[in-house]
Amino acid sequence: MAENTPGLRRLDRPVHAGRAGDAEPTDEDAGLRAGRGAGPSGADSAASAGPVFSLAYVRTRPAAPVPGRPPVVIVPGGPGLASAVPYTALRAQAAQRGLDVLMVEHRGVGLSRRMPDGEDLPLESMRITAVVDDLRAVLEAEGIGRALVVGSSYGTYVAQAFAHAHPELTAGLVLDSPMLKAGNGAEEEWATALLYDGTAGDDEHRRLAHKVRDLAAEAYGSEKPGELAALGRAVRIVYEFGGPEVLDAFLNQRKVGASRLVRRLLAAMGGGDTGTPVPYYMEFDRTGEIAFRELDYGGTGRRPGTAAVGAEAEGTEATRTAAGDGPASGTESVALAGPRRLFARSEDFAEVARQFSPFAGEPVDLEAVLPRMRIPVTVLSGDRDLRTPRPVAERITALVPEGVLVAVPDHGHSALDTHHAALLEALVAGADGKPGEIGTAEPGEPCRRRLHCLGSGGGPSAAVGPIIALTLALDRLLPRERR
């Protein structure tokens, strides 16, 4: 059971991020914008005077601690991913490497989901400011003066916000598949350039883009509602988890009607994160308030620009557009916008977005505060990451004075979930204060601490790519569908 997770601890925390007893938080966003989170006395006095809940966290200590290494705090993605149950194996591996790891169960998720009366935490308690202060309170309760703060995907936004609000508690950052700002314009722009326009990547990607354009034109002309959006979701999933070769097989089989099973699999996967909660693993039904109210997952505030993003565009206006600096957007339907919008996420989130508050603005302007962070920052970026693409990682690395960009070869999104070996290398180097020691080796260099020698590396979602490839193989054995 989840309650029996080794190293589980609990801490009473205020439900709301505002003043003690407030039914609706005061302007909790102002704290991060001004460069400070709720202080220890303010937050913890609220725990005694206002409504509270039990925040769960796990600490896994090494049998042989390495002197001088700070503890490591890991924040998963989502929002909605649990911490206690899914990452037991990772914490054990980290302890074997001499790392002291803490993971906080996100408020509104799993072991931190409920009030004392058994009711779910209210949506208005879901604020990034509150999440940041939960991390602060846990460090204080454990007597930790400074920690290496690690985030994956959504967790990178929290990690950066924490470092901004509490520089005195932050020894360094490891940002795995990092976010920089609200909205999903960077995601759509990069995916379009790479796998539709063919203006980014190599000849292999240009050939894939040609096939994607062909299928997108068919889907756009189809009478089936949502066909274009479904194709875009499928292409993203197959590419990130399986790579170019598996995507090529998928595109070929879809063209000839030999993709029945894999399309069912991909349709189920496409709505997995935001669909029915999986207790103690993925629970979006509370934390979605953060996703839409503060991080604009619905993409209502911005849309990508039209400039192509080429491989040669690093540091150019095209790359800045791919990093999320496109012009403002409306919520136009993907079907009405044409086949080139197959990677838009507006239809993916249209239904679930109605359950939460509309976008109200970001809690912190990371682009403005990152240049002031005087700590080592390791940025991990998968070569196949479409959700938090390479131009975003490059932009963050350029903004921070001590940034190191580490490309993770043959990998998609979130090393925390699909490549534990690479993440552990980054954690060890970050805890030792030597982030520059990791990276992709040149031919002939020794493999030690070089990511291209690590293999797939494991993680909760590491098997997704092989499962897709196997399902495609099964589809080739079945009679073809009528076209």
Contact 153, 160 (CB under 8 A): no
For 153-168, the pLDDT digits (tens) are: 999 999 999 999 999 9
Q: What Cα–Cα distance (Å) separates residue 425 from each residue in 64, 104, 406, 459?
A: 18, 21, 11, 14
Percent of the chain with pLDDT over 90: 68
316, pLDDT greater than 50: no
- Round the average pLDDT of the chain to a whole number and report it: 84
Work out the pLDDT band at 181, boundaries 50, 70, 90: very high
Using CA of residue 99, residue 459, residue 121, residue 150, what is the dihedral sign?
A: positive
Residue 293 scores a pLDDT above 90: yes
170: its two tokens: 């932050």
Instruction: Write down the pLDDT at residue 33.
Output: 43
- Between CA 422 and CA 415 the distance in angstroms is 7
Q: Under a CB-based contact definition with an 8 Å cutoff, are residues 354 and 366 in contact?
A: no
pLDDT for 435: 83
205-216 per-position pLDDT tens digit: 999 999 999 999
Q: What is the pTM of this model?
A: 0.86
Most confident of 1-15, 139-153, 183-197, 320-334: 139-153
Which of 5-14, 100-109, 269-278 shows the lowest per-residue confidence on average (mean pLDDT)? Answer: 269-278
Q: Residue 255 phi/psi, 5° resolution?
A: -60, -35
- Is the pLDDT at 324 greater than 70? The verdict is no
User: Do residues 196 and 212 touch, judged by C-beta distance below 8 A?
Assistant: yes
121-135, 235-249, 329-343, 427-441: segment of lowest average pLDDT = 329-343
**Residue 214: phi, psi to the nearest 5?**
-60, -50
- In the chain, pLDDT over 70 holds for what percent of residues? 81
User: Which pLDDT does position 458 carry in this prediction?
Assistant: 72
Distance in angstroms (rounded) separating the CA atoms of residues 170 and 164: 9
Residue whose token pair is 């966290």: 57
The structure tokens 């509270």 sit at 52
Tell me which of 454 and 76 has the higher pLDDT. 76
What DSSP character marks residue 279? T
> Could you tell me which of 308, 346, 303 has the C-alpha nearest to residue 326?
303
Is the predicted pLDDT of residue 43 greater than 90, yes or no? no
Examine the pLDDT at 334 and tell me if it is beyond 60: no
User: pLDDT: is 150 or 321 the higher one?
Assistant: 150
Q: DSSP per residue over 186-234, as a string?
A: HHHHHHHIIIII--SS-HHHHHHHHHHHHHHHHHHT-SSTTHHHHHHHH
pLDDT at residue 261 in the model: 96
Q: Distance between alpha carbon 7 and the CA centroid of its chain, in Å? A: 25
Separation between Cα atoms, residue 264 and residue 115, nearest integer Å: 38
Q: Does residue 421 contact residue 89 with C-beta atoms inside 8 Å?
A: no
Q: Does residue 53 have a pLDDT over 60?
A: yes
Where residue 445 falls among pLDDT bands split at 50, 70, 90?
low
Q: What is the pLDDT at residue 304? A: 38
Which residue in 247, 239, 243 sits closest to 211, CA to CA? 247
Q: Which residue has the higher pLDDT, 284 or 27?
A: 284
Do the strands 377-382 and 170-176 form a parallel or antiparallel pair, or are they unpaired?
parallel
